[in-house]
Amino acid sequence: MERRSFLKFSAALSGASMVPSFVFAKDLNKSLVKTGKVKTAAHWGVLEVETKNGKIVSSKSALNVSPYPNPLQNYTKDLVENSRVKHVYVRKSYLANPDSPKPELRGTEEFVKVKYEDAIKLVAKELKKTRKAFGSQGVFAGSYGWKSSGNVHNSRILLHRFMNMSGGFVGSTGDYSTGASQIIMPHVVGSIEVYEQQSSWNDVLANSEVVVLWGANPYSTLKISWTSNEEEAQKYLESLKNSGKQIYMIDPYLNETGRYFGDKIKWIPIRPNTDVSMMLAMCYYLYTTNNYDKDFIENYTYGFDKFVPYLTGKVDGVVKDAKWASKICGVDAKIIESLAKTFKDHKTMLMSGWGMQRADHGEQPHWTLVTLASMIGQIGLPGGGFGLSYHYSGGGTPTAKGGIIGGINAGSIGNYDENGKFLGLAKSDFESKGTGQSWLQKATNYSFPLARIADALLNPGKVIDHNGEKITYPKIDFIYWVGGNPLVHHQDTNTMVKAFRKPRTIVVNESYWTPTAKMADIVFPATTQYERNDITMVGDYSNMYIAPMKQIVEKVADSKDDYQIFTDLCKAYADGLAEVYTDGGKDEFDFIKEYYDGARKQVLAISDLGVEMKEFNEWWESNEPVKFNSTMESDSWVRFADFREDPILNALGTPSGLIEIYSQDIEKMAYDDCKAHPTWFEPAEWLGMAKKPAKFHMMSVHPNDRLHSQLNQTSLRDKYAIANREPLLIRSDDAKEIGVKDGDLVRVFNERGEVLAGVKIYDNLAKNVIVLREGAWYDPLDPTKKSICKNGCANVLTIDKPTSKLANGNISHTALVNIEKYTQKAPKLTAFEAPKGV
């Protein structure tokens, strides 16, 4: 026995009872704490929630690590109580005749309360009907969204599990967050890069001399994580603030991070969507002053020689110098050049967010940034290079050594005979028995890039280009959505509304009357995560904790867990299906224990870990997260260090094994909107365009006081809403020009739509730039026609166009808008109210 384990063992024996705890495992205590303090976890952190007589009184961080407050942690009560879908509802015409359900009335017609069992039967029947008529590709269940934390009640995977086992569906590829970068980056650095661990924050703090926040707002976005937030990165951010390093923010908007850093950050305002021109000019300056790392370019990159003729204007007659860039991006030419020199001559970490790739030609900014970083030549060195995920889910927080829990999976393919009899799950994807293999083939062929959803619904059969392939849109006649809010998150809401009126059936599981739930035919009331038990990792990159997610309150009204809903759908769909769906009848605790025990097994196998994981029942009862520690290696880990050390042995996943400044693969695609090297393209709408359709560039950045649309219905909104609408940030001189002032209600509009917003004067914006944050619930004044959104949903104004044929990402940050004072009587806000009939 190793020394440390031996000591631990003897310590256990020397405890008061003299009996090691694992000898008598306690029964699992599943009871609810009606009055007391309970720990759970959400995207916004591990929480301690206080209850009294079964009701939530307060909630706050249970970790208390972050140096600044995270208000998202304090509204659990509202999340349980406000805007809830309490019963099962079916849209009136759908209920009357599901074969001819008048889809054009979706979102306008009243709902009818029905019995849960009847709705289950209805959905199973109509799903079967759709599959028979249109094949598995007639059913769309891509169902993108941020859902809730938890590895058991993972709504999207639970839906996919049901759809896989019951006979197939068509899904989507990519996401809204990094649609452009996750397609271009594999061509450039051989991995998607955006979701990769970053050089450790310790490394940055110890070794970087200059840190650049290029279109990133970590103060805000680090408040949330995909799993749950371990709050460590906020500490590092504070250390960076106080580090005395040169810190720059290149951004049209001095965001929350900029304000938090105060005079410790130098803000370089830039015109939205023009960063590529500035980066190219920096490359040009380094090239022409002969101050770039030739050795790095020579040994670690491919195709620089084919990029240079574009840079110098040999190809198109346009020299990409600072004067040229300055006219486009609005940053003084001298500043562009001096920044290039500073970055080259100092150890510089270029930290970029994802907002600038959510724009027209969004493939270009990160590709150009990597090219610039290659010329600087510090990639793979301590403190240098670039990072595309410091702002997200605690990127750069050193990875801990410990156990990793499993999670519910999307299951295998269900095989059915020609009469619809369930034959069991396919043993492999290639098994030819039954229907399984043929639908898998179809589903693979028809999957399309997520941000093309409205286009796909409106244009079945249309063929699009995507990353060197052709994709044919399927004819979608049935949509099932859980864990997302597409009527808020997708661009050009008015077109999306039209698209959502195309299929015959739309089913949604939701906890709240979101705009998406209001646009459904059948709405199942889903429990919130606070009404069920679950388990999660905390820290997406750090894997720092395993946290229990204890149920806090009873299930509200008729709410059911998604797991329950899909299990019941399985029962109604085919004999024997529920049995495999539930893996032989497992409940949430069976899964939680299985995932925990899996991690515990890993931990027990590591001899020198120094962390004990209790036996499951005891751990659950203790209601404390297990914490793992980082290692010496992860503390000082440097991204690309192995590549730098040996680019042949540790080649990148690109065709050349090197960083590709020129891509022959992309060259072969011959796209006019994405060339084989980083290129400046004019966006569809921008402030420098010849005939501007509107005066202001709208940035629909991620909210500081929400997670996308989540929490919009809570009283946290009272703290930021202006005139009871989403705030619109505008400079005082811009406001003066159009005759509006702080607190005014304004109409924001363009050819795509119009919204109401409340004016908040904010001077740290580039000229003619306004901010209207994404995520306000769409609330049309008259849902029967294209009408003004009363709450200020930014996507009513954005463009539904792909970034390019390469990635087909969304371009939500490319939009010009006009603004005028709203002089009519302010209409009543109904965003958070239940629809007609409820």
Any idea which residues carry the catalytic annotation? 144, 146
Least Å from the CB of residue 702 to ligand PGD = 6
204 vs 776 by CB, closer to ligand PGD: 776
What angle, 0 to 180 degrees and rounded to 10, lies between the N-to-C axes of helices 304-311 and 275-288?
Answer: 100
Q: Hey, what amino acid is at 672? A: D
Q: What is the C-alpha to C-alpha distance for residues 420 and 436, in angstroms, rounded to an integer?
A: 12
Q: Which two tokens stand for residue 836?
A: 């007609």
Least Å from the CB of residue 148 to ligand PGD = 3
Q: What is the C-alpha to C-alpha distance for residues 118 and 473, in angstroms, rounded to an integer?
A: 32
CA angle at 336 for the pair 333 and 337, rounded to the nearest 5°: 90
Give the DSSP letter string of 21-39: TTSSPPPP-----SSEEEE
156 vs 639 by CB, closer to ligand PGD: 156
Are 292 and 344 in contact by the 8 Å Cβ rule? The answer is yes
Give the DSSP letter string of 196-260: SPPSPHHHHHHH-SEEEEES--HHHHTT--SS----HHHHHHHHHHTS--EEEEESSB--HHHHH
- Report the interface residues with ligand PGD, using CB under 6 A: 145-148, 153, 155, 176-177, 358, 482-485, 489, 509-512, 514, 526, 529, 562, 700, 702, 707-710, 774-775, 794-795, 798, 812
Least Å from the CB of residue 813 to ligand PGD = 6
Least Å from the CB of residue 55 to ligand PGD = 21
> Which residues contact residue 233 at a Cβ distance below 8 angstroms, ignoring those fewer than 6 apart?
201, 218, 222, 390, 394, 395, 396, 397
Residue ranges of the alpha helices (H) in 727-818? 732-737
Q: What is the C-alpha to C-alpha distance for residues 628 and 686, in angstroms, rounded to an integer?
A: 47
Q: Hey, what amino acid is at 31? A: S
Using CA atoms, how far residue 464 sits from 78, 443, 445, in Å, is 43, 16, 12
Closest CA to 222 of 346, 464, 449, 390: 390
Binding residues: 146, 358, 485, 489, 532, 562, 795
Bridge partners (DSSP) listed for residue 730:
761
174 vs 403 by CB, closer to ligand PGD: 174
Are 449 and 170 in contact by the 8 Å Cβ rule? The answer is no
837: left (phi over 0), alpha (psi -120 to 50) or beta: left
Are 482 and 562 in contact by the 8 Å Cβ rule? The answer is yes
Least Å from the CB of residue 726 to ligand PGD = 12
Least Å from the CB of residue 289 to ligand PGD = 36
Q: Give the three-class secondary structure for 168.
A: coil
Q: Which two tokens stand for residue 755?
A: 């919204």
Closest CA to 124 of 458, 570, 530, 757: 570
Least Å from the CB of residue 361 to ligand PGD = 16
Least Å from the CB of residue 484 to ligand PGD = 4
Q: Cα-flanking dihedrals φ and ψ of residue 10, to 5°? A: -70, -35
> Within a 10 A sphere around the Cβ of 73, how many other Cβ atoms?
23
- Beta-sheet strand order (sheet of 36-42): 36-42, 45-52, 55-61
Q: Which residue has the tokens 């080649």?
A: 651
Q: Which two tokens stand for residue 439?
A: 């639908």
CA of residue 138 relative to chain centroid, distance: 26
CA of residue 555 relative to chain centroid, distance: 27
Are 666 and 302 in contact by the 8 Å Cβ rule? The answer is no
**DSSP for residue 140:** E
Q: What is the C-alpha to C-alpha distance for residues 265 and 837, in angstroms, rounded to an integer?
A: 53
Least Å from the CB of residue 700 to ligand PGD = 3
Considering Cα of 267, then 268, then 269, then 271, what sign does the dihedral take?
Answer: negative
Least Å from the CB of residue 528 to ligand PGD = 7
Q: What is the C-alpha to C-alpha distance for residues 117 and 597, in angstroms, rounded to an integer?
A: 35
